[in-house]
């Protein structure tokens, strides 16, 4: 026996909202989910389906469709719940036959999509607003369109925009747009024309005071609207939202959207509206800049038409000129102060302009083309005025010019107006590009920091996706930005932003890129790439800091995998090659017994080519590291003699095999150079083995080191076929091989010179080649000599014997704590070269004595010192001289371990091997005093 | 140094054969081989070679780990160790920088020059010295 109540129970508890009606739409039953959705008890047979719809016509339509088609699919509707809220619903329905009564029953399945609808409408709103703003040219029109768009998309009925006056006394209504057809808005429209900007006004003035968007739903809390009890407004408008239009941190105006029907408003919607407020702000800024520009253009035309011209009339035969009184007074002269002769003009016209003017006169006389010239003319008090001259000559019957007359117009103001116009144009372009950036890169995190208050004044909604914190939290507290950044990166990012704001480093003027890691709540590390750039005010100080950022975690992961891939490939290729090369070497070396000379020939071919393959693998790895900018360089002192000798030594066997002699001489008195010994050997090996390859049997390759000013130059000269001029161009490019050379020489990978060039340039030197076809070639590279760098340092320290009273003027003193003599020498050279004084300590004990006696302004610290850990000294020093807060640059082979230092905000971490530019940049950045000017130091020392 | 003993540790049988041949023919070395780090440690329990040539990439216990094990035994520390490896990219070389070794020879190497390379590294080596010299095979 089947229990009829069972399927009903099932339907009652089903997770989907279900409603059944008879064929005329009277509700028979509704399950629990439906009652929850509609927030009401449904009493059977007393309500009709139509009543549930926000508009009964829509209900009618749904029933009709169902009747006609027998089925209803994804019918979109808006229901009004019992508590007056609106829900967006999708309905599926079908018709069934009740077996007991034989009557048709309609079943409606309903899904609540309010949440996703809200999201969708937000995205639509953002999109539509961007569309309106990109196309608009007038503020009021655009704001009207925006009101209409927002009302339509977000189900509001009236939108109002107020403009806040310059002095922030009043809000005056600029625009109001009514979308619905009710006449209920009369009161609101009458009240909202002029609103005093004081806290007691309540809505909408509160928006100006809070600077944020707001939903006015709670009547109790906001007890005034337009200075009257709030109930007058909220009674009529259950849904009210308002948000500011911001230009940076200035609030330009307020937009409010109101509806007489309840409509859903979420917090996300408010955030979206706030960001739209910023977008509108940028637009307004752009348009206002445009209007200012047009005004300046107007002034330009006034300057042209309103001026009072001076007249001149020149007798070309006698060279007498009539200058009108206006002509003379224009330049500040009295009538009798200027002689009526051409010489007067010659004297007044600026010597730089004179020739051009006379050329134009001549051209006019010769060609009868109109004459117009701009020039500077000297006034009585010696200033120059910009003059625009126009004129016309008179020709006699023989075609000779006998007279020329015209006007002089003072265009000094016009020129100035033109200059202002250009400035406005620039401002317009600036604000426009900023606007575009915001509109187009809405998916990137975009933020603005005010340098004055050191606060975030704007961040795009994407910030919340990456940082998982609200933008409004960020505005309240900038630490919201820094907190998720992992400790090792945080100080660096903070310093970079501060440095940019304070303008402590000139080279940051264009902004820079930052990469840092943030840790999400579930301990996941995300890599963030960011570009930060300052916007300067008129005085050149930083006014705003703009930043964009996006997630590059995936890119980083790809980079890591690629690098891993290369490591593996390198190893996997080398292992079998090792066996091949070793086996061939043993056979060729006769270790496996005598072989025929023919076999020997073939084994040599195999061995040659496996050597070539090995070089190719090495080169490809080098190129890949160079391209990824991953090639690390050591910095050490290198003696050219040693470099030449050991390189030539290692190539001796190859030279013998080729029957070529290598000669070398040192003309550089063996001045040491700074570089990476292994890398320099690689370059020199490459150059010499190329030279050996191209020099015919019996010839000589000559290697020399010469002085070239402050540099030491290494030259490799061959007696090869030389290089044609057209091949010189791409000589140092990738995969270059000279096609003019016969095949047997083509044994290199074609990467050697490209690698050499990159290496030498990375070491701060130059590389090049000189050759003529048929006359051999010289390849050379040059690097700065250590001595010349030291000399610069020495010159600057000579002036150091300054008298006591000059102590204020002394440059910063750098304490260098480093146990390695060669690194200390290089660093000392670098530091003194920058114009600072430098004292060196080889261990912690020395450093302590020096710190106490000399009070350094900056410390360079090594970590592994003979008598302890450098970081302990750093902590000791910061405690001892707490007041000075001495900045520290740690040089270490280890990864940054900032956790061990007590004052991480004072410490920068440079990983060895270090780059010289990085050292110089940081020294300048951190030392609070200016370096001495090296050029002045030089002149004093030589005079 | 006639008939000095060298312990060659490499998991690649071809390489063991080739290096043995090279050092026997060209350097008057007596070559013993081990195919893993563990086998090397076992060998050292009963023998005292004059030199250890050690590969880096080996299954289970790699060359670096084996060297660290060797270094734990006071009496083994005076045996010079030379790494012979294909892992010679800079970030890989940095890992060897603090190892108590006499040097690194990169693979592939020229067998004819191998004995002199080893000789050069041994001349520079002292049991207390930490300076790492890298011989490049070409």
The dihedral through the CA atoms of A670, A673, A676, A680 has a sign that is negative
CATH number of A118-281: 3.30.450.40
Q: Are A582 and B15 in contact (CB < 8 Å)?
A: yes
Q: Are B21 and A586 in contact (CB < 8 Å)?
A: yes
Residue A390 pLDDT greater than 90, yes or no: no
Nearest-Cα distance to chain B for A575, in Å, is 7
The residue of chain A with its CA nearest to that of B22 is A586
Residue keyed to tokens 């019918």: A75
User: Which residues of chain B neighbour A614 with C-beta distances below 8 Å?
Assistant: 108, 138
Regarding predicted confidence, which is higher, A635 or A357?
A357
Regarding predicted confidence, which is higher, A829 or A587?
A587
**pLDDT at residue A300 in the model:** 47
Percentage of chain A lying above the pLDDT 70 cut = 83
Q: How confident is the model at residue A626 (pLDDT cuts 50, 70, 90)?
A: confident
Euclidean distance between CA atoms A793 and A836, whole angstroms: 9
Residues present in chain B in total? 138
**pLDDT at residue B36 in the model:** 93
Residue B104 pLDDT greater than 70, yes or no: yes
User: Strands B103-106, B134-135: parallel, antiparallel or unpaired by DSSP?
Assistant: parallel
Nearest-Cα distance to chain B for A451, in Å, is 41
Interface pTM, i.e. ipTM: 0.83
Q: Are A578 and B86 in contact (CB < 8 Å)?
A: yes
Residue A824 pLDDT greater than 80, yes or no: no
The contacts of residue A528 (CB under 8 Å, 6+ apart) are A466, A515, A516, A517, A518, A549, A550, A551, A552
Chosen CATH of A441-551 out of 3.30.1320.10, 3.30.450.20, 2.40.50.140, 3.20.20.10? 3.30.450.20
Residue A702 pLDDT greater than 90, yes or no: yes
Counted across chains A and B, CB pairs separated by less than 8 A come out at 70
Lowest mean pLDDT of A122-126, A401-405, A868-872, name the range: A122-126
**pLDDT at residue A756 in the model:** 87
pLDDT per residue as tens digits for the range A904-920: 778 888 776 666 667 77
User: Between residues 874 and 903 of chain A, which touch chain B (CB distance below 8 Å)?
Assistant: 893
**Quick check: helix, strand or coil at residue B59?**
coil
**pLDDT at residue A298 in the model:** 56
CATH number of A633-784: 3.30.565.10
Q: Are B108 and A577 in contact (CB < 8 Å)?
A: yes
**pLDDT at residue A304 in the model:** 43
Q: How confident is the model at residue A778 (pLDDT cuts 50, 70, 90)?
A: very high
- By CB neighbour count within 10 A (0-12 exposed, 13-18 middle, 19+ buried), where does A433 fall? exposed
Q: Are A631 and B107 in contact (CB < 8 Å)?
A: no
* Architecture in CATH for domain A5-112: 2-Layer Sandwich (3.30)
Span A81-87, mean pLDDT? Answer: 70
Q: Does B115 touch chain A (CB under 8 A)?
A: no
pLDDT per residue as tens digits for the range B30-67: 999 999 999 999 999 999 999 999 999 898 889 999 99
The residue of chain A with its CA nearest to that of B133 is A678
Q: How far is CA A223 from CA A127, A681, A915, in A?
A: 35, 82, 64
Residue B17 pLDDT greater than 90, yes or no: yes
A789-942 is a CATH 3.40.47.10 domain = no
pLDDT per residue as tens digits for the range A494-539: 877 877 777 654 444 566 778 898 988 788 888 888 888 777 766 6
Residue A841 pLDDT greater than 50, yes or no: yes
- C-alpha closest to that of A478 among A499, A459, A504: A459
In the CATH hierarchy, which top-level class contains the domain A308-410? Answer: alpha beta
Q: Where is A551: in which H helix or E strand?
A: strand A542-551
Euclidean distance between CA atoms A742 and A694, whole angstroms: 10
Q: How confident is the model at residue A433 (pLDDT cuts 50, 70, 90)?
A: low
**Quick check: helix, strand or coil at residue B104?**
strand
Span A119-131, mean pLDDT? Answer: 75
User: Which residues of chain B neighbour A577 with C-beta distances below 8 Å?
Assistant: 107-108
Partnered with residue A146 across adjacent β-strands are: none
**pLDDT at residue A503 in the model:** 64
pLDDT per residue as tens digits for the range A544-592: 787 878 888 888 888 788 878 887 888 888 888 889 999 999 899 888 8
Residue B1 pLDDT greater than 80, yes or no: no
Lowest mean pLDDT of A287-301, A665-679, A749-763, B1-15, name the range: A287-301
Percentage of chain A lying above the pLDDT 90 cut = 7
Q: Does B107 touch chain A (CB under 8 A)?
A: yes
Residue A227 pLDDT greater than 70, yes or no: yes
Q: Are A650 and B138 in contact (CB < 8 Å)?
A: yes
User: Which residues of chain A neighbour B111 with C-beta distances below 8 Å?
Assistant: 581-582, 585-586, 589, 591
Q: How confident is the model at residue A48 (pLDDT cuts 50, 70, 90)?
A: confident
Q: Does B123 touch chain A (CB under 8 A)?
A: no
Q: How confident is the model at residue A630 (pLDDT cuts 50, 70, 90)?
A: low
Residue A11 pLDDT greater than 80, yes or no: no
User: Between residues 645 and 674 of chain A, which touch chain B (CB distance below 8 Å)?
Assistant: 650
**pLDDT at residue B124 in the model:** 82
Q: Please give the domain boundaries of chain B with CATH numbers for all domains.
A: 5-135 (3.40.50.2300)
Nearest-Cα distance to chain A for B87, in Å, is 6
Most confident segment among A128-132, A266-270, A772-776, B130-134 = A772-776
């Amino acid at each position: 026996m089947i229990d009829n109540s069972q399927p009903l129970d099932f339907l009652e508890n089903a997770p989907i909202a279900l409603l059944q009606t008879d064929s005329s739409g009277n509700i028979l039953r509704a399950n629990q989910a439906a009652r929850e959705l509609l927030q009401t008890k449904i009493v059977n047979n007393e309500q009709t389906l139509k009543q549930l719809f926000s508009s009964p016509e829509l209900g009618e339509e749904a029933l009709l469709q169902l009747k006609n088609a027998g089925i209803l699919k994804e019918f979109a509707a808006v229901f009004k719940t019992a508590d007056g809220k609106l829900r967006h619903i999708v309905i599926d329905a079908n018709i069934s036959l009740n077996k007991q009564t034989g009557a048709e029953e309609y079943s409606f399945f309903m899904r609540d999509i309010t949440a996703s609808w809200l999201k969708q409408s937000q995205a639509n709103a953002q999109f539509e607003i961007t569309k309106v703003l990109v196309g608009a040219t007038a503020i009021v029109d655009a704001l009207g369109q925006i009101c209409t768009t927002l009302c339509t998309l977000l189900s509001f009925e009236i939108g109002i925009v107020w403009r806040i006056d310059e002095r922030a006394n009043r809000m005056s209504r600029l625009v109001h747009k009514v979308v619905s057809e009710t006449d209920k808005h009369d009161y609101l429209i009458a009240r909202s024309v002029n609103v005093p900007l004081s806290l007691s006004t309540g809505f909408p003035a509160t928006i100006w005071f809070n600077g944020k968007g707001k939903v006015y739903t709670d009547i109790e809390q906001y007890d005034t609207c337009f200075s009257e009890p709030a109930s007058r407004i909220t009674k009529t408008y259950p849904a009210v939202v308002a948000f500011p239009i911001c230009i940076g941190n200035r609030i330009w105006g307020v937009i409010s959207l109101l509806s007489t029907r309840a409509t859903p408003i979420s917090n996300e919607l408010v955030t979206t509206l706030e960001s739209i407020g910023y977008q509108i702000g940028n637009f307004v800024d752009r348009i206002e800049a445009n209007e200012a520009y047009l005004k300046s253009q107007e002034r330009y035309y006034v300057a042209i038409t309103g001026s009072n011209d001076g007249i001149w009339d020149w007798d070309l035969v006698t060279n007498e000129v009539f200058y009108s009184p206006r002509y003379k007074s224009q330049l500040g002269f009295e009538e009798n102060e200027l002689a009526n002769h051409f010489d007067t003009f010659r004297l007044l016209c600026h010597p730089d302009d004179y020739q051009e003017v006379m050329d134009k006169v001549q051209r006019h006389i010769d060609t009868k083309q109109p004459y117009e010239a701009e020039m500077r003319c000297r006034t009585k008090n010696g200033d120059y005025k910009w003059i625009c001259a126009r004129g016309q000559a008179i020709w006699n019957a023989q075609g000779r010019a006998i007279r020329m007359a015209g006007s002089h117009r003072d265009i000094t103001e016009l020129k100035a107006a033109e200059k202002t116009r250009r400035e406005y144009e620039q401002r317009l372009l600036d604000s426009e590009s900023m606007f575009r950036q915001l509109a187009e890169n809405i998916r990137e995190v975009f933020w603005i920091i005010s340098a004055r208050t050191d606060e975030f004044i704007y961040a795009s909604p994407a910030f919340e996706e990456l940082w998982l914190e609200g933008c409004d939290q960020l505005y309240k507290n900038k630490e919201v930005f820094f907190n998720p950044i992992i400790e090792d990166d945080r100080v660096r990012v903070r310093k970079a932003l501060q440095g940019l704001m304070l303008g402590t480093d000139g080279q940051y003027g264009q902004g820079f890129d930052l990469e840092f890691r943030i840790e999400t709540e579930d301990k996941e590390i995300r890599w963030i790439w960011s570009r930060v750039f300052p916007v300067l005010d008129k005085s050149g100080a930083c006014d705003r800091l703009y930043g964009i950022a996006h997630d590059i975690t995936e890119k980083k992961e790809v980079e890591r995998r690629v690098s891993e891939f290369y490591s593996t490939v390198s190893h996997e290729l080398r292992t079998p090659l090792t066996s091949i090369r070793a086996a061939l070497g043993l056979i060729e070396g006769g270790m496996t017994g005598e072989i025929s000379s023919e076999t020997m020939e073939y084994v040599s071919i195999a061995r040659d080519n496996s050597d070539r393959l090995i070089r190719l693998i090495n080169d490809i790895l080098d190129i890949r590291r160079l391209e990824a900018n991953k090639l690390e360089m050591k910095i050490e002192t290198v003696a050219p003699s040693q470099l030449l000798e050991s390189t030539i030594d290692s190539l001796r066997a190859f030279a013998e095999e080729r029957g070529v002699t290598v000669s070398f001489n040192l003309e550089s008195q063996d001045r040491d150079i700074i570089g990476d010994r292994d890398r320099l050997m690689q370059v020199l090996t490459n150059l010499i083995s190329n030279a050996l390859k191209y020099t015919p049997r019996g010839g000589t390759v000559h290697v020399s080191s010469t002085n070239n000013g402050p540099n030491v130059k290494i030259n490799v000269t061959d007696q090869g076929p030389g290089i044609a001029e057209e091949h010189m161009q791409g000589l140092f490019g990738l995969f270059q091989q000279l096609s003019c050379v016969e095949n047997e020489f083509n044994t290199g990978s074609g990467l050697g010179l490209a690698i050499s060039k990159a290496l030498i340039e990375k070491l701060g030197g130059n590389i090049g080649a000189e050759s003529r076809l048929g006359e051999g070639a010289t390849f050379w590279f040059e690097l700065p000599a250590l001595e010349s760098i030291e000399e610069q340092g020495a010159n600057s320290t000579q002036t150091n014997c300054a008298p006591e009273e000059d102590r204020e003027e002394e440059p910063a003193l750098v304490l260098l704590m480093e146990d390695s003599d060669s690194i200390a020498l290089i660093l000392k050279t670098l530091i003194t070269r920058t114009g600072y004084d430098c004292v060196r300590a080889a261990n912690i004990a020395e450093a302590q004595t020096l710190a106490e006696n000399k009070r350094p302004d900056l410390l360079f610290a090594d970590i592994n010192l003979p008598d302890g850990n450098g970081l302990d000294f750093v902590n000791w020093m910061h405690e001892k001289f707490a007041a000075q807060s001495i900045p520290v640059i740690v040089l270490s082979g280890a990864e940054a371990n900032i956790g061990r230092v007590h004052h991480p905000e004072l410490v920068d971490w440079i990983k060895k091997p270090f780059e010289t530019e990085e050292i110089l940049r940081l020294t300048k950045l951190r030392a609070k005093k200016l370096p001495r000017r090296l050029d002045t130091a030089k002149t004093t020392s030589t005079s | 140094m006639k008939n000095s003993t060298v312990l060659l540790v490499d998991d690649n049988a071809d390489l063991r054969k080739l290096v043995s041949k090279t050092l026997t023919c060209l350097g008057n070395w007596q070559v013993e081989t081990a195919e893993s780090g563990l086998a090397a440690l076992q060998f050292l329990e009963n023998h005292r070679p004059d030199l250890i040539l050690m590969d880096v990439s080996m299954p289970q216990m790699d060359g670096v780990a084996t060297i660290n094990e060797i270094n734990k035994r006071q009496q083994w520390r005076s045996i010079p160790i030379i790494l012979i490896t294909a892992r010679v990219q800079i970030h890989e070389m940095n890992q060897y920088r603090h190892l108590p070794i006499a040097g690194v020879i990169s693979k592939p190497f020229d067998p004819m020059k191998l004995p002199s390379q080893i000789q050069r590294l041994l001349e520079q080596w002292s049991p207390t010295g930490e300076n790492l010299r890298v011989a490049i095979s070409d």
